[in-house]
A and B are shown apart, each in its own frame.
Chain A
Amino acid sequence: MWTRKDLLGLEELSKEELELILSTAESFKEVSTREIKKVPALRGKTVVNLFYEPSTRTRVSFEVAAKRLSADVINIAVESSSVKKGETLVDTGSNIEALKADIIVVRHNSSGAAAMLARHLNISVVNAGDGWHEHPTQALLDIFTLKEKLGHISGLKVSIVGDIAHSRVARSNIWGLTKLGASVTVCAPKLLIPPAIEQMGAKVAYDIDEALSSADAVNVLRMQFERDSEAAFPQQLEYFKDFGITSERLKKAKKDIILMHPGPINRGIEIESSVADGTNSVILEQVTNGIAVRMAVLFLVAQANDKSQSVKDSES
């Protein structure tokens, strides 16, 4: 049973809750193949996408998901809102709540921002990425795609390659995959591996060939070289030489290794162009599955909040 009004991360979810999201997503996936791609599940609900960081992919995916559930969608981007005038995150959230919205989907550059909103608001909060902390729906769609391709998650070997230290995608994937019984290896230059990551349940490899050698899937993270205030960042070419996913490298991996990327991809930086477009790549399927997964999440949190509200009403 799903009882959470919010989805803030995968760390706090049980295996059963993860499985429930995945199975709910499975049943929603079919909606997008219909001629009329819409179900009335969230009719009359309002979803607000509150994005403090530029994002096209995730924001559009949430928007499509909400619309296919018949919800009304409002997008607030940081540039066009009163945030720049100094309104606090919680004040912005309270205003959205006062507009009688039902769900806030929030993307913020500060770790813990979604948790803070959730603490202050009665309406549902879905984390669309907070700082370096978590990006739960991205990991869920990665896991959904893997499960769709291979039939199961338990026992799989999944490698995550790239800037692990600053990656919310990596953290959410580690929590989700390990809870479902997969074994996760993270691979990056030493300075991009955060301390004590092993205690989160991930193995560490500093050599890309080692990370690829027995993996059933590899999730390639986007390298953000614009983060150059960090002295630790390697040069682009050097990174591609040491960690880039190339067809040459994949020859030594399992033949049917699944290649994922949360997008947007940097061709020739973390991944060779031909590999991104090749037969192992499921990058565009991930995008399609993202809609089903986000439909499931929006549906589950809305339903849980409706239930808890009606319990409160009957008590008062």
Chain B
Amino acid sequence: MTLLIKNGLVIDPANNRSEILDILLIGKKIIKVAKGIGDDVGEIIDARDRIILPGLVDMHVHLREPGREDKETIQTGTLAALKGGITSVLAMPNTFPPPDSVESVSLVKSIIKKTAQANVYICGAITKGRLGRELADIAVLKKEGVLAISDDGSSIDSDALMFSVFKNAKNEDILVICHSEDKVLSNSGVVNLGLTSTRMGLRGISSESEYKRVKRDIELAEKIGARVHIAHVSCKESVAIIREAKKRGAKVTSETAPHYFALTEEDVLGYDTNKKMNPPLRGRDDVAAIKQGLSDGTIDAIASDHAPHTENEKDIEFERSEFGVIGLETELSAAITELVGNRILDWAGIVRRMSLNPAKILGIDRGTLSEGAVADIVIVDPKKEWRVIKEEFVSKSRNCAFLGKKLKGVVEYTICAGKVVYASASTDKEHYRA
């Protein structure tokens, strides 16, 4: 199939390009990126006043399958991703069973093969059963194709065990993703420790519980020379620690999620459980530090930490409610609204944080609009505003922190391997909206 995208503002920092160009796709590939490509070929999308980005890469997504298909499946999660302009996701390992062996990874791979609507990469578990005790066979996991390993929500407490994790990871040249949290210090908390926890009469989660573990994880990785990626950075101290480590030359990368730069702890004061996540929404100075980290490159990536939950587990008493929010369908708009809108990042910066950098961190051939590259492309109407409402989610779950908010930027088309796999209702290409 041949597809020509005409007159869009092409944002492709990998090739140092931000200009109005045409893009010609044939089959699965980008064939040509140039001005005034003749329009006597196949289907045409008029992208005037639109922005063209490489398909986004979200490196922190909980697809819940296998095990909790009532919350999300690989199919519904990837459909939600496409609506959000995301063409590649890294599936986190807190599934049942977790991907900790040949059998469990094969199971995920077979579901992906049958049902995934976007590229799904697998993050393997570090320990068997994600129990933090016995290492999984990391060489085997790597052979099975997992791109990274993580015990996800369960940070490994033992320094000795973590040391051997990094040793193994270094041998296998595989990335370790850390949910850095000292659960003794976070003390069963549910909101940010300080005025917010005091006002709400809830247990607090200190920043210390995060940044002390961030520091430990980086220092252990550094000793060995392993690659470490810090997930969902939320507080100013973590940003500073990562910045210093990068200066020293540590092989550390990091991500944050949209709620950590677009919302503050004050948003949780009404006990809205859709504002409950771990780490929690933090103070204004933390949010400022996250934005600074995004702007100066300390924080490499934006990832949703998409964490679907059923209403039964989410819309209940605050303390009992599950942690986490969905984000695939809102993250690009949240980033446009908050970061482009406030001149924290330009469009090339958005592509770096949401496509190019995560692709590099994971070592996948995505994140660019180079001629010859796989044609994963998003076409965005950058000015159009929309309100986030429950009824419009493609995800199986609705626990979104941005519910009710007005956001800027609408994904009009998502193209995956040369094929239009999503077209918004505002486009005239009805035949893509099956």
Q: Which residues of chain A from 109 to 130 have any CB-CB distance to chain B below 8 Å in the complex?
A: 110-113, 115-116, 130
Are the C-beta atoms of A195 and B315 separated by less than 8 Å? no
Q: Which residues of chain B from 303 to 322 have any CB-CB distance to chain A below 8 Å in the complex?
A: 312, 315-320
Are the C-beta atoms of B202 and A111 separated by less than 8 Å? yes
For B320, list chain A residues within 8 Å (CB): 110
Are the C-beta atoms of A168 and B201 separated by less than 8 Å? yes
Q: Which of B199, B312, B315 contacts A11 (CB 8 A)?
A: B199
Cα–Cα, bound, A134→B200 (Å): 8
A86-126, CB under 8 A of B: which get 1 and which 0?
00111000000000000000001011110110000000000
Cα–Cα, bound, A195→B202 (Å): 11
Q: Does A197 contact B (CB under 8 A)?
A: yes
Are the C-beta atoms of A112 and B317 separated by less than 8 Å? yes
Q: Tell me the nearest residue of chain B to A167, going by C-beta.
A: B201
* A-binding segment of B68-76, B189-197, B230-238: B189-197
Q: Does B271 contact A (CB under 8 A)?
A: yes
Q: Which of A90, A116, A171 contacts B201 (CB 8 A)?
A: A171
Q: Which of B195, B200, B312, B317 contacts A195 (CB 8 A)?
A: B195
Cα–Cα, bound, A275→B202 (Å): 33
For A197, list chain B residues within 8 Å (CB): 198
Cα–Cα, bound, A302→B204 (Å): 35
Q: Does B38 contact A (CB under 8 A)?
A: no
Contact of A131 with B197 at beta-carbon distance under 8 Å, contacts A88-B316, A116-B317 already known? no
Range of interface residues on A (Cβ < 8 Å): 20 to 34
Q: Which residues of chain A from 242 to 290 have any CB-CB distance to chain B below 8 Å in the complex?
A: none
Interface of B is mostly: loop
Closest chain A CB from B400 CB (angstroms) = 17
Q: Which residues of chain B from 249 to 286 have any CB-CB distance to chain A below 8 Å in the complex?
A: 270-271
Cα–Cα, bound, A197→B199 (Å): 8
Q: Tell me the nearest residue of chain A to B193, going by C-beta.
A: A195
For A130, list chain B residues within 8 Å (CB): 201
Are the C-beta atoms of B270 and A115 separated by less than 8 Å? yes
Q: Tell me the nearest residue of chain B to A164, going by C-beta.
A: B198
Q: Tell me the nearest residue of chain B to A166, going by C-beta.
A: B201
Are the C-beta atoms of A134 and B194 separated by less than 8 Å? no
A166-205, CB under 8 A of B: which get 1 and which 0?
0010010000000000000000000000111101100000
Cα–Cα, bound, A111→B200 (Å): 7
Range of interface residues on B (Cβ < 8 Å): 10 to 19
Q: Tell me the nearest residue of chain A to B204, going by C-beta.
A: A195
For B319, list chain A residues within 8 Å (CB): 110-112, 131
Are the C-beta atoms of A132 and B201 separated by less than 8 Å? yes
Most buried by B among A134, A171, A194: A194
Are the C-beta atoms of A111 and B316 separated by less than 8 Å? no
For A108, list chain B residues within 8 Å (CB): 317
Closest chain B CB from A116 CB (angstroms) = 6
A278-309, CB under 8 A of B: which get 1 and which 0?
00000000000000000000000000000000
Cα–Cα, bound, A200→B198 (Å): 9
Contact of A196 with B202 at beta-carbon distance under 8 Å, contacts A110-B317, A110-B320 already known? no
Q: Does A133 contact B (CB under 8 A)?
A: yes
For B312, list chain A residues within 8 Å (CB): 88
Q: Tell me the nearest residue of chain B to A117, going by C-beta.
A: B317
Cα–Cα, bound, A131→B319 (Å): 10
Q: Which of A112, A115, A131, A195 contacts B198 (CB 8 A)?
A: A195
Closest chain A CB from B193 CB (angstroms) = 6
Closest chain A CB from B27 CB (angstroms) = 52
For A196, list chain B residues within 8 Å (CB): 194-195, 198
Closest chain A CB from B185 CB (angstroms) = 14
Are the C-beta atoms of B317 and A200 separated by less than 8 Å? no
Cα–Cα, bound, A90→B199 (Å): 23
Q: Tell me the nearest residue of chain A to B272, going by C-beta.
A: A119
Cα–Cα, bound, A57→B381 (Å): 61
B343-387, CB under 8 A of A: which get 1 and which 0?
000000000000000000000000000000000000000000000
For B270, list chain A residues within 8 Å (CB): 115
A54-91, CB under 8 A of B: which get 1 and which 0?
00000000000000000000000000000000001110
Q: Tell me the nearest residue of chain A to B202, going by C-beta.
A: A111
Most buried by B among A108, A171, A196, A200: A196
Contact of A200 with B202 at beta-carbon distance under 8 Å, contacts A110-B317, A111-B318, A112-B318 already known? no
Q: Tell me the nearest residue of chain B to A130, going by C-beta.
A: B201
For A90, list chain B residues within 8 Å (CB): 315-316
Closest chain B CB from A63 CB (angstroms) = 25
Closest chain B CB from A203 CB (angstroms) = 15
Q: Tell me the nearest residue of chain B to A132, going by C-beta.
A: B201
Closest chain B CB from A106 CB (angstroms) = 12
Are the C-beta atoms of A133 and B317 separated by less than 8 Å? no
Cα–Cα, bound, A133→B191 (Å): 13
Q: Spell out B's residues near A (CB within 8 Å).
A: 193-195, 197-202, 204, 270-271, 312, 315-320
Known contacts A88-B312, A90-B315; 17 additional CB pairs below 8 A are A90-B316, A111-B201, A111-B202, A111-B318, A111-B319, A112-B202, A116-B271, A116-B316, A133-B201, A168-B201, A194-B197, A194-B198, A195-B197, A195-B204, A196-B198, A199-B195, A200-B199
Leading 3 A-B pairs by shortest Cβ distance: A112-B271, A132-B201, A133-B201
5 contacts between A and B (CB under 8 A): A88-B316, A112-B318, A116-B271, A116-B317, A171-B199
